[in-house]
Amino acid sequence: MSEAVSAVWADAALAAALFAIDPVGLGGVALRSGPGPVRDRWLAMSRGLLAPGAPVRRIPLNIEDDRLIGGLELTASLAAGRPVAQRGVLAESDGGVVILAMAERMEPCAAARITGVMDHGEIAIERDGLAVRLPCRIGVIALDEGLEAEERPPSPLLERLAFHLDLGRLGSRPPPDVDHATADVAQARARLPGVAPASDSTIEALCAMAARLGVGSARAALMTLRAARAHAALHGRIEMTSEDAAAATRLVLAPRALNAAPEQSEAPGAEEPSPPAEAEAESGQNSAEPNDAAADAEAASEVDMMVAAIEATLPDDLLARVDLSVPARGAAKGRGAGASAKSAHRGRPLASRAGPLRSGARLNLVDTLRAAAPWQTLRRKGAAASHIQVRREDFRIRRFVQRMEATTIFVVDASGSTALQRLAEAKGAVELLLAKAYVARARVALIAFRGAEAELLLPPTRSLARAKARLAELPGGGGTPLAAGVEAGLLLALAEKSKDHTPLLVFLTDGRANIGLGGAPGRAVAESDALAASRRVLESGVASLFVDTSPRAQPGGDRFALAMGGAYAPLPYLDGAAVAGLVGELQAATR
């Protein structure tokens, strides 16, 4: 195993040990790794280092609220005639650790509930006639299986997890055994309360390091301080040293770094020269009085020395190993997914809501009984004691949300006005997007317009090989029937929309229409027909992107994009990566 890989695993093992020492204070670990022996080895090691008897619960992605945070215990409530609380998975994990499966796909509402529990250390249940508060002090291990850089767990959750580990660089080979003994971690856990609080200079130095690395979160600096205390306890120290601060900086701040290189610290006292002795004598101040400026300079010098000590112990390639391309925002939605839509029959279940039993509505029997349970004592007066009294206001209706499949429809100008080189560039851009769509499990369609008509070259498909073959056969030359291309794209988009798909129209053209819908030549008629077709795109509500491939953007080049209510992007130098980025941004905006 190479030295770099060994260093990655050594840091991952150290993070597991520090997390086991103070799981609540450090929040947890964001573990980016696919399923495999490496991740299994790290999880087994982490469990072995936790306090004896500490509960470890695994939380699936689509867990319901009643099971996550608790709620009404239906059977007991109906038997007792009063609300009886049921403990959820989080309350059952008090004093231990929860493992979040597929955290990169976690919904923001679920992340908000978990982060609220982490912040307050308790669960408050105030619904269904309950008013209960349960202690819940937990650490979190968020398993991140995202395949793309922008696919991350929700940012509020990541901000509360001290360690962000990426085991993907270790490959599939299991790493060597860790050298942090369970007994050493247990002794450090007992020693942690006795570690002296950090000095002001240490706190300022860690905050200065966070600023130099571009980390703006105050929580990150606080997590770094807690990690440094745990590191000192692990090595048998009762006071933090620069070695502890450096280790904490490497584990907590470095993965969050946004700057390519830290700023150079200035020499202490370089900004203002010290006052001369004559000025001191003329000031009339008593020399025995404390000199605030000197004290400030001494404190600043101590902070600079601490920062220099931390930087000296950090590896030279620290920032070179940081992936600065990872966005600071939270996780993107499901790859290749379109807009979400409420449904009464299929999809991911949502919390039920009170409502009438109208046509097509499905009754959630369990939630209906939960709503009726607290009132049974009052309703049973004068009625048979064995009957459960359910009224109209108790009805709870099932709800689902489904992520509709996305279909990107490329409408490519293959006319003579887009010279052969431009057409080749357009093909390259579309091919790159086809490859990304294949990985994202999205569907792609291709329409080309030239001569007097538009032709559907590729119906919506996920087949990358088929798409590449049709692209290679894409001919060029002839007039520019832009209106026909817009009409063909709109008809296909509406067909996809009727199948509960989310269509996105992407036009790659220079916009120089010269053939009308009827096939008659003439720029005035052609532009009028194209504008009318563009307005129909706006009326349909289909999202669109108009990429102007003209060698030189002309005034009014965005008129078609404005007419269809879409985004406009003049790209004189057509770049496949740039087009892919524009399409990705537009897809994210329409979700």
SS3 447: strand
Question: Same domain for 475 and 583?
Answer: yes
Question: Same domain for 352 and 422?
Answer: no
Tens digit of pLDDT per residue, the chain (591 long)?
566 667 888 888 999 999 999 999 999 999 998 888 888 999 999 999 999 999 999 998 888 887 888 877 777 777 777 778 888 899 999 999 999 998 988 888 889 999 999 999 998 887 767 778 889 999 999 999 876 666 788 989 999 999 999 888 777 776 666 668 889 999 999 999 999 988 888 888 888 888 888 888 889 999 999 999 999 999 999 998 888 888 898 899 888 887 644 444 443 443 444 444 444 444 444 444 455 555 555 555 666 766 776 666 665 555 454 444 444 444 344 444 444 555 555 556 666 777 777 666 777 777 788 777 777 777 776 555 567 778 888 888 877 666 667 888 888 888 775 555 556 666 666 677 666 666 666 788 888 888 888 888 888 877 767 767 777 777 677 788 889 999 999 999 999 888 878 888 988 888 888 888 877 788 888 889 999 999 999 999 888 888 887 777 677 778 888 999 888 877 665 555 566 566 666 655 555
Question: Which of 370, 402, 434 is the last residue before a domain boundary?
Answer: 402
- The residue written with tokens 């620069």 in the block is 242
How many C-alpha atoms does 303 have within 13 Å on its Cβ side? 19
Extract the tokens encoding 176: 């060597």
Question: Same domain for 504 and 426?
Answer: yes
- Predicted pLDDT of residue 568: 85
The CA-to-CA distance between both ends of the chain, in Å, stands at 43
**Is 40 part of any domain?**
yes
**Is 297 part of any domain?**
no
| Number of domains observed in the structure of the chain | 4
**Is 278 part of any domain?**
no
d(CA 226, CA 252): 10
**In this structure, what DSSP letter does residue 327 have?**
-
**Is 21 part of any domain?**
yes
Extract the tokens encoding 489: 């794209």
CATH of the domain at 66: 3.40.50.300
Q: Which residues contact 470 (CB under 8 A, 6 or more apart)?
A: 446, 457, 458
**Is 309 part of any domain?**
no
Question: Same domain for 89 and 7?
Answer: yes
Question: Same domain for 475 and 576?
Answer: yes
How many C-alpha atoms does 28 have within 13 Å on its Cβ side? 29
CATH of the domain at 185: 1.10.8.80
Question: Same domain for 397 and 417?
Answer: no
Question: Same domain for 385 and 422?
Answer: no
**Is 273 part of any domain?**
no
d(CA 273, CA 510): 63
- Predicted pLDDT of residue 108: 85
**Is 292 part of any domain?**
no
SS3 169: helix
Long-range CB pairs of 551-558, under 8 A, 24+ apart, other chains included: 551/422, 557/511
- Predicted pLDDT of residue 233: 93
Question: Same domain for 362 and 396?
Answer: yes
List the domain range (segments joined by +) for residue 398. 339-402
d(CA 328, CA 17): 26
- Predicted pLDDT of residue 328: 42
Question: Same domain for 214 and 90?
Answer: no
- Predicted pLDDT of residue 21: 94
For 271-395, list the strands marked E by DSSP. Answer: 337-343, 348-354
**Is 153 part of any domain?**
yes
Question: Which of 355, 374, 402 is the last residue before a domain boundary?
Answer: 402
In degrees, to the nearest 5, what angle opens at C-alpha 278 toward C-alphas 274 and 280?
60
Question: Same domain for 118 and 252?
Answer: no
CATH of the domain at 417: 3.40.50.410
Residues, the chain: 591
Question: Same domain for 50 and 82?
Answer: yes
**In this structure, what DSSP letter does residue 170 have?**
G
Question: Which of 263, 289, 307 is the last residue before a domain boundary?
Answer: 263
Question: Same domain for 48 and 7?
Answer: yes
- Predicted pLDDT of residue 204: 86
What b/e sequence results for 258-272 when a residue is b if at least 16 CB atoms lie within 10 Å of its CB, and e otherwise? eeeebeeeeeeeeee
Q: Are 564 and 546 in contact (CB under 8 A)?
A: yes
